[in-house]
Structure 1
């Protein structure tokens, strides 16, 4: 049986995977119990090893690391998830946190303090790269007032759907709350995507927030 804090690494870049593995394996209070190079391998490792901590990249072959984060959050509540990625934009950050990640580091952070970050995460902290922390602080600041052009861009129903989506409700729940069919909700969603020139819910919420059309 492995001794110490058990860690799984899910990273497709061999160079980063090797560097992270070396750091973790060299820590006297940690045990590297597996590494994976893609999403299916990562999910299998989580099921088999049930680690204390998983380090996961977002851009993985055969799927997104966000799927792995969501799986861990739903099925392995005792496993702490830390994203280690090159993606520092708000949509990726928010999607990861909403899926259940409690740490978010950029790969340009110093590798030598990775073990300290893992310990902090497992102790109940939330290690976050400074540039990501700044984004979150800005996001939590005063909301922009809707501009006349922004108000006219989306209909009240389209804004309402995005507002509910931002709060975490699924389309079935939104349909019940609005008293309409799921088909009608999907019509509002498609229209808002087209008007905002986006292709996903996360992007739509991000753009709507910038315009002051969605309030958490």
Structure 2
């Protein structure tokens, strides 16, 4: 099996797509399988090309990035969507993540960080700009904590003790490699556990796992 990461570029500006293509193709293992200039083309292209990762713009004519992300994650759950935009307005970040995006970055992100984000979401991690993470926690936390209507023990009853431990670390924003180092386990073991956690809790990705962890309060104490 090839170790290449197949990437679809979605942006209404051809020059932007060209820039991303040049930058990503300079990195070993990154293969650009296609481009799209709007959300409708993106959803169609994912069906044809089966990329591993979609680099998705938010604001485009016709169907925008959030609606396209929702369609892609519903129809092609194995494809990860990384939203990258000029705008860090809260509603865009929330909209993209709620639509199932595995990450949200700003276009001023450094090239190395973008490549790292693509590799991260391809391996099952989440990737969210630190600025966006701070905003999400600041804006969402009070509302999430008010929604704690389910006891954490009841919500996590399907998880083993080890899976609960890993779930808390996911909620704290740790990557697979960081969790592996914390628990003195292999990264492959952590990845397998994360997959089981998501399946048992009915979650699509790690971003939803982080939100769920805050909703039920297992990492609420970290918000001070």
* Comparing 36-45 and 51-60, the one that deviates more: 36-45
Residues 3, 31 of structure 1: 8 Å contact kept? no
Name the residue aligned to 1:49: 49
Alignment of structure 1 residues 31-50 onto 2, 5 Å:
31-50=31-50
Name the residue aligned to 1:8: 8
Aligned length: 147
CA distance in structure 2 between the aligned counterparts of 1:40 and 1:140, rounded to whole angstroms: 30
Alignment of structure 1 residues 12-27 onto 2, 5 Å:
12-27=12-27
Distance 1:2 1:12, change over 3 A: farther
TM-score normalised to structure 1 length: 0.62
CA distance in structure 2 between the aligned counterparts of 1:65 and 1:111, rounded to whole angstroms: 21
Deviations 1:97-142 (A, max 9, x none): 1110010001111124321110011111111111101011212434
Alignment of structure 1 residues 176-195 onto 2, 5 Å:
none
CA distance in structure 2 between the aligned counterparts of 1:37 and 1:142, rounded to whole angstroms: 37
TM-score normalised to structure 2 length: 0.60
Structure 1 segments, 4+ long, off by >4 Å, are none
CA distance in structure 2 between the aligned counterparts of 1:46 and 1:109, rounded to whole angstroms: 25
Distance 1:141 1:113, change over 3 A: closer
Distance 1:142 1:14, change over 3 A: same
CA distance in structure 2 between the aligned counterparts of 1:141 and 1:15, rounded to whole angstroms: 38
Query: Which protein is bigger by CA-based radius of gyration?
Result: 1
Deviations 1:157-199 (A, max 9, x none): xxxxxxxxxxxxxxxxxxxxxxxxxxxxxxxxxxxxxxxxxxx
CA distance in structure 2 between the aligned counterparts of 1:143 and 1:25, rounded to whole angstroms: 41
Residue 3 of structure 1 deviates from its aligned partner by: 6.5
Secondary structure of 1:120 counterpart: helix
CA distance in structure 2 between the aligned counterparts of 1:41 and 1:140, rounded to whole angstroms: 32
CA RMSD of aligned residues (A): 2.5
Gaps of 5+ in 2: 145-214, 217-224
